[in-house]
A and B are shown apart, each in its own frame.
Chain A
């Protein structure tokens, strides 16, 4: 079992819909990252958070340390949001990141 689980694995939404992607982890962490990988392959870091909530444009990331859970929300989704979204955690005891398997999002017109 992976230490980082994401759900759903695949998600299709219509333009304008509110989207939520979930990430659960089983160990103590010092930080959690949300990454975006477009079909072209490049990876972009969206957020790094260790508590609370962060917002950037239409993207919001929240984390609940006690429940070992984070969510990534996209408001007013757009086809250009279509990508794979990856959750990664930095363990408290280690320097490395452990990655989830990603959520593939397709936003249609």
Chain B
């Protein structure tokens, strides 16, 4: 039973399109994250939600909009896709946040987005 699952795993689309990536965790964690991994394999935080509330919003274009309908789900919607958005996007979850973090991060398998 997958702990953190993302869909789709692969996404190929044209510039200018709008797309979404979905993430769900069945670990009962209260914090979820979106990370972007660029072509050099460098990971960077994009967003974090704790109990459906946005707590981290890094310098990310506002074409990226996260949505957390409940604490088990964190979706990422991207408008007007650009070539530079091509990357692997990882969802992750943890219990607690910051100084209250009690455990490790659990990652999804990643969603590889290719913008043509």
Contacts and interface: CB of A to CB of B under 8 A. Distances in A.
A48 B109 CA distance: 20
B109 A42 contact: yes
A101 B40 contact: yes
The 10 closest A-B pairs by CB, nearest first: A95-B98, A45-B104, A43-B107, A99-B43, A96-B45, A48-B104, A95-B97, A42-B109, A45-B105, A41-B110
Contact of A33 (B42, B44, B105): B105
A99 B44 CA distance: 7
B91 to A, nearest CB: 10
Interface of B: 40-45, 48, 55-56, 58, 88, 90, 92, 97-99, 101, 103-107, 109-110, 112
A33 B55 contact: no
B45 A33 contact: no
Which of B44, B45, B55, B92 is the most central at the interface, judged by chain A CB atoms within 10 Å of its CB? B45
Nearest to A30: B99
A101 B42 contact: yes
A45 B107 contact: yes
A43 B90 contact: yes
